[in-house]
Amino acid sequence: MRDTDVILIGGGVVGCATADALARRGASVVLLEKGDDVAVGASRANSGIVHAGYDCEPNTLKARFNRRGNEMMWTLARELGVPNKKCGSLVAAPEGGEEGLRVLLGKAEKNGVRAEIVSRERALEIEPNLSDDVRFCLYAPEAGVISPYKLTIKLAERAVLNGAAVVTEAAVEKISQTDGKYVLSTPKGDLKCRFVVNCAGAGAEKVNVLAGAECFETVFRRGDYFVLDSTEGDNVSTVIFPLPTAAGKGILVAPTADGNVIYGPTSVPVNGADTAVASDALDEIRRAVPLTYRRPAFNKCIRVYAGVRAIVGDDFIVRESDVRPGFFTVAGICSPGLTAAPAIAEYVAGLIVSVLIIFMGFELARSSIEKIISPEATIFSYAAMGVLIAAILVKLWLFYFNRKIAKRINSASIAATSMDSLTDVIATAVVLAALIGGQYTDFPIDGVAGVIVAIFIFRSGWGAVKSTQAPLLGRPMSK
């Protein structure tokens, strides 16, 4: 049975981003996907919008992950070579719609998002083809578009290059626990791990039931789209939203990262992952587009499609289970889930790496106490001493390198990785000191020093947990 640090369930953008984040930080990772490839669900069939974050309710996970995800997305797209356009977005309002824009602007200010209300004249400079009915707009320059399925595939590829395994056609059939670890049964065999991250999207509710974790109810809404020929791409300069409603952000007009244009989505309640496009939904799009865009070109449609978003309450669920330690639920990642994905991955990966540091402290404490109780003679070797010194230098370089990168991109998970390297330096230095000092005394110096280092590692691991949460969320998620 394969044994690994972390198993991720679900090969959508959140699952692949988390696999990438963990693999780059040295964790052993297996990602399980029930389909025949990654990006076969909602991560393939969505708008591909990188949302600015002005419409999220302040102090929610959506708001926090959206803001951080937007900050990360453009660098990530450049690193991975994923098509994208930072083209901004407009929320178009007719006469009398200014109050709705002011509400959005107030949320933007609370969420730390750049946005401004602009006149029709200024809006036309940004998007010349606005409808004649549009009088004012909310402009958010940090928004844009990206290829969602190419992003997901590239994240999975980089995760594999860094040691992760991606197993397709591996639906999880059973989750049990043995010897303090989880055992997951799939058609491809059983796997054992210390941590499970449920990123199963539309299937997340069922996975939680299998694990005996917290239950929640999922609501499904289908979004239908028109895709227009690339010849229409030059006519749409930015993402155009109507004023949002209780059903969602509304039917938009947007360029795609691949040079096409999309109209949509609708928001139709469905039972389960039903992605069959409906004619009445397409008629709804035909009626809505002219309200914000004056050059509808339905005659240039090259295809229609639909995706289903899984909604769990009013906010994302991103947390460790209270009843199943080591089991993380990442569910209800509807809009702005694509934008939030890198930030969710950073948070979950940083938290798991921090806990792994604490586990390392426990192991060191246990072995050190055993050495104090049953001391053994230290065998000195110049070769061993040379290896230990080399390991200290390498780990010290990794500490400074990761700390520098973490500060540059404001990454809590990479900061946690740097602390992991530092604890390795200290632990190895203690081994070196014990190797040398053991030649001159029978006192169990290696055991005592090991306990002291273990205490330091506990402190560092707990600090890493807090640093992972605080910059992004402002407070622990359980509060």
Rounded Cα distance, 410 and 397, in Å:
19
Q: pLDDT tens, 269-320? A: 999 888 999 999 999 999 999 999 999 999 999 999 999 999 999 999 999 9
Q: What is the pLDDT of residue 467?
A: 62
Catalytic residue among 51, 249, 319, 324: 51
Q: What is the amino acid identity at position 292? A: T
Which stretches does DSSP call E strand in 233-331? Answer: 239-242, 252-255, 261-264, 268-270, 301-311, 317-320, 327-331
Model confidence, pTM:
0.85
Q: pLDDT tens, 394-448? A: 988 988 888 887 777 666 657 767 777 887 787 788 777 777 776 667 677 667 7
Q: Is 51 a catalytic residue?
A: yes
In this structure, what token pair is assigned to residue 413?
């998970």
Q: What is the mean pLDDT of the segment spanning 112-118? A: 97
407 CB contacts (<8 Å, ≥6 apart)? Answer: 415
Please give the angle made by the CA atoms of 221, 224 and 228, to the nearest 5 degrees: 155
Q: pLDDT tens, 19-46? A: 999 999 889 999 999 999 999 999 999 9
Mean pLDDT comparison of 148-162, 243-257, 451-465, highest-scoring range: 148-162
HSE of 289, CA atoms in CB hemisphere, 13 A: 23
Q: pLDDT tens, 54-106? A: 999 999 999 999 999 999 999 999 999 999 999 999 999 999 999 999 999 99
